[in-house]
Structures are given as structure tokens and as C-alpha cells.
Amino acid sequence: MPKLKPFNFNAIKNGDQELAKKVVLDLLQLYPRGANRNLRKEDYKRLSSEAILRTECEKHGIGGYIQYNQDKLPEFWGYTPEQVYYALTTLDVTGTWIGESDFSNMLYTHFGWRGAKRTRSSRRLAFRLTTAWNLATKGGNLGDMLFNFRIQSRDIAGVRSYDQGDYRVRTDTVIVAKNESEAQALAETLYGYAGQVGDLSGWQTGSGPMAMAANMSALEKLNARKKQMEQEIARYQASIQAVEIMSEAIEMYTMTSFGEGAA
């Protein structure tokens, strides 16, 4: 096999889709050349329906096949989780969790593949790379990441549980952190007093300006909700005034006509 130059992941990180596609094509091979493009068939151990680097088989005690609960690490095929992440995001893969349908969409969009080839390829990529994606997004090695989460207002005292939904306020917002545990701690510290924090998820590298844009959108939605509630309050205030006027009219007639001193 010819000697090849290692993949330039800085270029891939900066948006080189053609190079990212070559990474994907390599990972679709039974015996990938790897990120350094120096692996050969003899470096692999052939299993029942797969092939894994011999060094990784020995390291993880993999025999004739991969156990169902065995993590499919990208190192099995000569890559790191971060390298897989950069290649996939450059090809527009997104989401906290990815699976076969995500790879199928990518193969159709960027390769134009259809039919059985697309199906087989998306299954192989899902098998090999889903764990890599999860490890990368949770590993803290990608730098600053954007984590989405939801803040929900707490229950109002004196309101029945099945009526709480009429008063509950929710909003989705974003925090910048290195990994999921740091994001969870920051979210609870910074927002815990404002309500219940939940649905934390993150996959996208980003920075302050991106978080600011997302949070400004959340503020706009909250202010719009507040305006709706203020309009509702104004309507109830008008209704209260109508009640007072009706009560006054009824009371005046009743007391004048039937109260003490009435003729």
C-alpha cells in the first residue's frame, strides 16, 4: 500500500469538507488506514463480521467477536474521539445523540448515495462512530462547548398539582462549559435559584458570542410571555371592575327596594 500523508484535522476543523469526506470513506473500509494513514491489513485482527486493530483487541480482551456491551472505541480503527467529531461536524452531523439515520442523511447529502450502499454504510458508521461522538462531546477535550438546558418555574403554593401547568413558565437557554459535569454544576449554581434546571445536553463547540445570541432569543421569548400574562392580568382587572359595578348595582337596588326603611 502506498504511503499517505496524515489527515490534516486542523483543516477539517476549519471546514474542509472534501478532507472530512476522505476520513469517512476511510472509516467505511474494513481495514481503515487511520488518522495517520499508516495502518495496514496485517495490523488488524479479523473478527466474525468486523476487523479491529490487534493492539486494541489485546488491550480490551476482545476475542472472536465484539460483545454487545463493548464500547466501540474509535481507537479500534486508528482515530480519536475528537478527530471523529471534527470530521462529522464538518459534514453537518449535529445532536447530542446520533445514530444510523444521522449517518444515512450525511451519506445522501454529501455523497449522494442511495439504496443498499447507503444503508450498509450508515450501519457501519453508526456501529463504529456513535460511541466516539459521545466520548468526544463529554470528554472535555474539545474546548468550550455550548450546553443547552431548560429552566422551569417552581410550583405555586396553594395551586392543585394538575392546575400547575396553567402557571408554569419554561425557557431553553445555553451555558458555556468544558464538559457535561461542569455545565451541570454551573447551571445549578447560576440558575438554580430561578427554577428547576433540567434537560442538559450539549454537542456543539462554541463560545460566548454564540451563547449570548441563544440567550438573547430566550430573553425575547420570556418577555413575550410576560407581555401575554400582563395582558391577561389587564383583562382580569377589567373583569374585576365589571364585577364590582354589577355588585354595586345589585346591592343598591336590593337595599333600596327591600332593605330597612324601604316603603
Q: What is the DSSP letter of 6?
A: P
- Measured between its terminal Cα atoms, the distance across the chain in Å is 117
DSSP string, 57-91: HHHHT--SS--TTS---GGGGT--HHHHHHHHHHT
> What average pLDDT does range 172-201 have in this prediction?
91
> What average pLDDT does range 66-71 have in this prediction?
85
What is the C-alpha separation between 31 and 46, in angstroms, rounded?
9
- pLDDT band (50, 70, 90) for residue 261: low
Take residue 68 and report the three cell numbers written for it. Answer: 454487545
How large a percentage of the chain has pLDDT more than 90? Answer: 77
pLDDT at 99: 94
What is the C-alpha separation between 55 and 75, in angstroms, rounded?
10
pLDDT at 69: 84
Does residue 112 have a pLDDT over 70? yes
pLDDT at 52: 95
Beta strands in the chain (DSSP E): 44-46, 51-53, 145-152, 170-177, 196-205
pLDDT at 165: 87
Does residue 130 have a pLDDT over 70? yes
Does residue 180 have a pLDDT over 90? no
Mean pLDDT estimate for the chain: 93
Does residue 262 have a pLDDT over 80? no
Domain boundaries, the chain: 9-138, 145-249
pLDDT in tens, 239-256: 999 999 999 999 999 988
pLDDT at 14: 94
Q: Are 72 and 66 in contact (CB under 8 A)?
A: yes
- pLDDT band (50, 70, 90) for residue 263: low
Q: Are 158 and 190 in contact (CB under 8 A)?
A: no
- Which is nearest to 206 in space by CA: 148, 151, 149, 134? 148
Has this prediction a pTM greater than 0.75? Answer: yes
Take residue 47 and report the three cell numbers written for it. Answer: 473478527
pLDDT in tens, 194-232: 999 988 888 888 888 989 999 999 999 999 999 999 999
Q: Which residues contact 91 (CB under 8 A, 6 or more apart)?
A: 17, 20, 21, 24, 106, 109, 110
